């Protein structure tokens, strides 16, 4: 009995040893691209008892290959590790690929010198696998590993050079093999718009290695130009992008071939402003990023394509949320209002990434060191330019970005582009939660708006649309921040000027004490943004000098951004220094993405005063910067003095600090409508033009990307005041 038990135990031992030494057969690799990761809170860690033991995946081995073209010519240079050698493949051509030692080929890695169409792979067993084209660097995982296969071109351009082919056994592929994914629509955390290959590191520094490589954020890069002639740059682009930790295949604007550009004017000849806006709008709507980043407005070192890419992006983030703009992409992807837009080097309160931050995903190298390593992949540029990845010691600082536009408040810590955004929540909840971040005093009704006068230096945020019907509004001076959050103030009626007087200056530098009327009488050092004034009516009658406009009668060092006005402003005056404006009256500052659809009326009641009269669709008179503003003006000017009227600006000149002359730029503005006027005096000048009525001392450059269908309508009939045909209906119920 004991002998039987021993034999039985021996048999069990032998069986167990056989089971342990049985050869593990590798499962075929999947051809499906990895699914986009869900942005969610991490799951709780499993207990020690429940943690299964895992067997590390073996490393794949690169195979020596024999490659024949069309069953005849042997092509050793296709697998020689050098992209400068290539073989031409036409539709129908085949490559027979066999491993030298008979090992199964589990994956092919193809590098093309032209964007390929579809290819088919057939194994000796008759298994056919069709692979979509579109990637210069393409990893193909075989559904049926085999020691040999046939690759056939199915469609695409007439000639598609294949510059490199390599093959691997099953297992973990080398890090340099690029296994690109396609980012799903609506899934981007961050979208980056460099103009050329290498800009993504020279000017955007650590964004890629930090947010993609270190943090694993879903980062999509969209290049604004395509390197057709210098094709090696496209390979360098992909190598650098992959090295940074980005796994999503980039978008290339194939409609814009890279050419030598000296100025933004030249850039607009090759790349029409509207076409670049349309391309960027489509990407914003498609990927719906929480953060988008673009080039410096000054083009870093003045490069025209960089300037254009910045200006068009500033327009695109507004248009992407407008259903009337580019309806094809709106229908395909829907609308998107990007929560945060950053521009390289923008503004005086930058958000700065830490260039010296060690990144664990890159062995503890600093953010800047990793960015430099990635930049060095652009070998053709490294050896032909003087640039590198700059830190805060340089004016090109690649880690400094200004918050150009925000739906979620201003940055306070200013060390992270995702401040106020919580990626652990679904995107819709992330945006909703971020919008709850109110940086200023919340204003939700007429009473809250009136209360601003008690503390005009404070910061205020609208949390709802506000109807001002029946409210008597008295304009006041404002020196703080008013964030409209895209809300509207409706039915604001203004009948009086503010109590404050400011100093205005005519073209001869003569000073005048002047009243102001509008939402505010006067602003200084203010920031007013993302605010709409609709059904606005301002009607001022005064014998004093006065400027009337929708947002501010007079302004100094004020920034108006994403402000819109719709309604009517009328000034009935007998003063000397007088004017009306679509957004603002007299002053200096900055206007970005402002929209004015206004009826502007000036009625001069004094023959003796010989007034200096100014009308402008954005502002009436002064020295300001205008970027991507839109004007639809209906102007009526009855003047017995001197007219300075413009669809965009009445008169532009630098009236302060004249020794340090500053050129202002008007870029990307669109003007439509008309001004009907008369100038009733013997010394007639009658300045009226679509852009600037009078450009005094040539203090403004408005040659870049502006478009006008403005109509100048001058009359010599001084017997009546000029008024719109629907004048009475404009003021119905106003008194």
Average pLDDT (643-658) is: 92
The residue behind tokens 């000796």 is 124
Q: Measured between alpha carbons, how far apart are the two ends of the chain, in Å?
A: 118
Helices (H), 491-598: none
Strands (E), 429-583: 441-443, 459-462, 466-467, 477-478, 481-490, 493-494, 501-505, 511-517, 520-524, 527-542, 546-549, 552-573, 577-581
Torsion angle in degrees (nearest 10) through CA of 283, 288, 291, 293: 0
What value does the mean pLDDT take over residues 333-344?
95
| DSSP β-ladder status, 65-69 and 137-146 | unpaired
Q: What angle do CA 573, 574, 576 make, to 5 degrees?
A: 105
Pair 209, 216: CB distance under 8 Å: no
| 139 contacts 166 by C-beta, under 8 angstroms | no
pLDDT at 422 over 90: no
Please tell me the number of Cα atoms within 13 Å of 248 on its side-chain side. 27
Mean pLDDT (the chain, rounded): 88
**25 has a pLDDT exceeding 60:** no
Tens digits of per-residue pLDDT, 534-544? 999 999 999 99
Kindly state the average pLDDT of the residues 4-28.
34
Supply 375's token pair.
Answer: 């930049």
Residue-wise pLDDT for 153-170, tens only, equals 988 777 888 989 999 999
Condensed to tens digits (0 to 9), the pLDDT of residues 124-157 reads 988 999 988 889 999 999 999 999 999 999 887 7
Q: Please classify residue 445 by burial: count the beta carbons closer than 10 Å to its beta carbon, then call 0-12 exposed, 13-18 middle and 19+ buried.
A: middle
Distance between CA 167 and CA 109 in Å, rounded?
Answer: 6
Contact 346, 298 (CB under 8 A): no
- The two structure tokens encoding residue 542: 């005064």
d(CA 200, CA 389): 10
- Residue-wise pLDDT for 430-449, tens only, equals 777 666 666 789 999 999 99
How many residues comprise the chain? Answer: 735
* 386 pLDDT higher than 50: yes
Q: At what angle do helices 367-375 and 232-243 cross, to 10 degrees?
A: 160
* pLDDT attached to residue 128: 92
At residue 423 the predicted structure's pLDDT band, cuts being 50, 70 and 90, is: confident
Q: Tell me: the pLDDT tens digits for 29-76? A: 233 333 333 333 333 333 344 445 667 789 999 999 999 999 887 777
pTM over 0.85: no
pLDDT, residue 42, reads 34
Spell out the residues 6+ positions from residue 299 whose beta carbon is closer than 8 angstroms to its own: 264, 305, 306, 307, 310
pLDDT score, position 733: 81
Query: Cα(456)–Cα(498) distance, rounded to whole angstroms?
Result: 13
**pLDDT at res. 504:** 95
Cα-based distances in Å from 460 to 455, 456, 489, 526: 10, 10, 14, 11
Cα–Cα nearest to 581, from 492, 642, 524, 519: 519
Q: How far apart are CA 580 and CA 615, in angstroms?
A: 5
Nearest CA-CA partner of 227 in 208, 263, 262, 199: 199
Residue 413: band (very low, low, confident or very high) from pLDDT cuts 50, 70, 90: very high
The region of weakest confidence among 365-369, 379-383, 524-528 is 379-383
Beta bridge partners of 131: 119
Residue 249 has pLDDT above 90, yes or no: yes
Q: How confident is the model at residue 52, as a pLDDT?
A: 55
237 vs 485 pLDDT, higher one: 237
Would you state the pLDDT for residue 40? 35
> Which of 241-245, 666-670, 674-678, 724-728 has the weakest average pLDDT?
666-670
76: number of Cβ within 10 Å: 10
């Amino acid at each position: 009995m004991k002998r039987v038990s021993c034999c039985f135990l021996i048999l069990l031992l032998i069986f167990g040893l056989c089971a342990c030494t049985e050869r593990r057969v590798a499962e075929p690799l999947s051809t499906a691209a990895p699914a986009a990761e869900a942005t969610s809170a991490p799951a709780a860690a499993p207990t020690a008892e429940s943690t299964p033991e895992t067997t590390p995946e073996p490393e794949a081995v690169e195979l020596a290959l024999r490659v024949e073209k069309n069953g005849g010519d042997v092509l050793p240079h296709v697998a020689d590790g050098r992209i400068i050698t290539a073989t031409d493949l036409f539709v129908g051509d085949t490559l027979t690929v066999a491993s030298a030692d008979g090992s199964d080929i589990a994956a092919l890695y193809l590098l093309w010198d032209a964007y390929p169409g579809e290819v088919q792979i057939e194994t000796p067993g008759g298994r056919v696998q069709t692979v979509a084209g579109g990637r210069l660097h393409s990893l193909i995982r075989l559904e049926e590993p085999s020691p040999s296969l046939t690759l056939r071109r199915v469609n695409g351009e007439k000639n598609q050079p294949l510059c490199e082919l390599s093959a691997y056994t099953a297992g973990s592929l080398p890090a340099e093999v690029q296994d690109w994914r396609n980012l799903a629509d609506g899934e981007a955390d961050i979208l980056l718009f460099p103009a050329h290959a290498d800009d993504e590191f020279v000017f955007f520094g650590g964004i890629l290695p930090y947010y993609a490589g270190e943090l694993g954020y879903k980062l999509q890069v969209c290049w604004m130009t395509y390197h057709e002639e210098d094709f090696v740059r496209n390979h360098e682009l992909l190598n650098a992008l992959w090295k940074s930790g980005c796994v999503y295949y980039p978008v290339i604007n194939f409609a814009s071939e890279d050419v030598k550009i000296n100025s933004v004017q030249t850039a607009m000849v090759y790349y029409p402003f509207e076409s670049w806006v349309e391309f960027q709008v489509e990407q914003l709507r498609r990927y719906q990023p929480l953060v988008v980043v673009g080039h410096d407005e000054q083009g870093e070192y003045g490069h025209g394509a960089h300037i254009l890419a910045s200006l068009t992006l500033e327009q695109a983030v507004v248009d992407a949320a407008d259903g009337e703009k580019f309806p094809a992409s709106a229908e395909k992807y829907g609308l998107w209002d990007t929560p945060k837009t950053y521009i390289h080097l923008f503004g005086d309160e930058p958000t700065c990434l830490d260039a010296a931050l060690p990144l664990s995903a890159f062995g503890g190298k600093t953010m800047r060191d990793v960015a430099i390593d990635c930049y060095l992949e652009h070998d053709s540029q490294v050896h032909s330019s003087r640039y590198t990845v700059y830190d805060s010691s340089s004016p090109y600082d690649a880690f400094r970005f200004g918050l150009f536009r925000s739906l979620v408040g201003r940055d306070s810590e200013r060390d992270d582009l995702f401040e106020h955004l919580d990626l652990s929540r679904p995107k819709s909840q992330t945006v909703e939660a971020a919008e709850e971040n109110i940086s200023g005093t919340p204003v939700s009704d007429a009473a809250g708006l009136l209360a601003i006068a008690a503390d005009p230096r404070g910061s205020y945020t609208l949390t709802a649309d506000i109807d001002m019907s029946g409210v008597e509004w008295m304009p006041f001076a404002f020196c703080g921040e008013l964030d409209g959050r895209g809300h509207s103030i409706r039915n604001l009626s203004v009948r009086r000027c503010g109590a404050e007087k400011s100093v205005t200056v005519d073209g001869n530098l003569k000073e005048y004490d002047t009243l102001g009327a509008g939402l505010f009488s006067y602003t200084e050092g203010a920031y007013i943004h993302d605010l709409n004034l609709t059904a606005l009516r301002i009607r001022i009658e005064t014998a004093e000098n006065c400027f009337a406009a929708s947002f501010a009668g007079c302004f100094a060092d004020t920034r108006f951004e994403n402000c819109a006005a719709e309604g009517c402003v009328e000034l009935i005056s007998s003063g000397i220094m007088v004017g009306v404006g679509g957004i603002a009256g007299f002053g200096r500052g900055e206007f970005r993405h402002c929209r004015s659809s206004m009826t502007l009326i000036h009625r001069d009641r004094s023959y003796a005063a010989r007034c200096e009269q100014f009308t402008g669709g954005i502002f009436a008179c002064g020295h300001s910067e205008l970027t991507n503003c839109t004007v639809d003006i209906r102007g009526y000017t009855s003047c017995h003095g001197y007219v300075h009227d413009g669809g965009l600006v009445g008169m532009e000149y630098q009236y302060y600090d004249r020794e340090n002359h500053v050129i202002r730029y008007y870029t990307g503005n669109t003007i439509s409508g008309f001004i009907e006027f008369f100038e009733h005096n013997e010394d007639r000048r009658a300045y009226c033009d679509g852009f600037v009525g009078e450009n005094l001392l040539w203090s403004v450059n408005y040659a870049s990307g502006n478009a006008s269908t403005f109509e100048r309508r001058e009359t010599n009939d001084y017997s009546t005041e000029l008024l719109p045909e629907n004048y009475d209906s404009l003021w119905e119920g106003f008194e």
